Amino acid sequence: MEKTLVIFKPSAIERALVGQIITRFQQKGLVIAGLKMMQLDEALLREHYAHLVDRDFFPLLLNSMMATPVIVMCLKGKDAIKVVRLMTGATNGRDALPGTIRGDFSMSGQENIVHASSSPEDAVAELSRFFKPEEIFDWDCNDKRYINSPDEL
Ligand code: IDP
Ligand code: MG
């Protein structure tokens, strides 16, 4: 089963959206394998957003991501990386489709509620960036019969 990283950004924390977004992921059939609150700092964000450090909006992004503690979550499931990205929606909340998290909760290109890993390589790197190995749990639902068919497990 694939694992992926979700970050509840300060926009989700300030707007008290964390509970209902976790509910969406759980209702979909994704499993929480790790969850904690942490304060991000500039060094970690420069690594995490290395592809954006030269963009003019990067200082604003830094401030935005350090404004409150964030909640980081590891989700597990079949094709979890793709599924969580689809549920997250387009980067800019004004372009994101209704029904997606950003489409339903964001009007902004920056204040877009959640981060989600965008590829298998990113997911591995990001999970090890934000979690210690012992903070990710290798448990699974006892009864997955109605989440996946036998040939999907
Ligand atoms: P993603 O979050 O959909 O993967 P990325 O391009 O990786 O999008 O950008 C990371 C984050 O940087 C975005 O989620 C958003 O918060 C911020 N960001 C990206 N592009 C812009 C922009 O043009 N203006 C302001 N913030 C942006
Ligand atoms: Mg990205």
When pLDDT is averaged across residues 17-34 and rounded to a whole number, the result is 98
Taking only the tens place, the pLDDT of each residue in 58-110 is 999 999 999 999 999 999 999 999 999 999 999 999 999 999 999 999 999 99
> Cα 24 vs. chain centroid, distance in angstroms?
12
Mean pLDDT, the chain, rounded, equals 97
pTM given for the model: 0.97
The pLDDT value recorded for residue 143 is 84
Cα 109 to middle of ligand 1, angstroms: 6
Ligand 1 shell residues, CB under 6 Å: 49, 52, 57, 61, 91, 109-110, 112, 115, 118
Mean pLDDT in residue range 16-27:
98
Enumerate residues 6+ apart whose C-beta is below 8 A from 150: none
Question: Which ligand has the minimum distance to the alpha carbon of residue 90?
Answer: 1
Cβ contacts of 50 within 8 Å, gap of 6 or more: none
| Interval between CA 147 and ligand 2 midpoint (Å) | 28
The percent of residues above 70 in pLDDT, for the chain, comes to 100
CA gap 67, 60 in Å, rounded:
11
Cβ neighbours for 112, distance < 8 A, ≥ 6 positions apart: 9, 11, 91, 92, 93, 96, 102, 106
Distance from residue 141's CA to the centre of ligand 1 (Å)? 33
User: How confident is the model over 110-135, as a mean pLDDT?
Assistant: 98
At 99-108, the pLDDT tens digits run 999 999 999 9
State phi, psi for 148 to the nearest 5 degrees. Answer: -135, 150
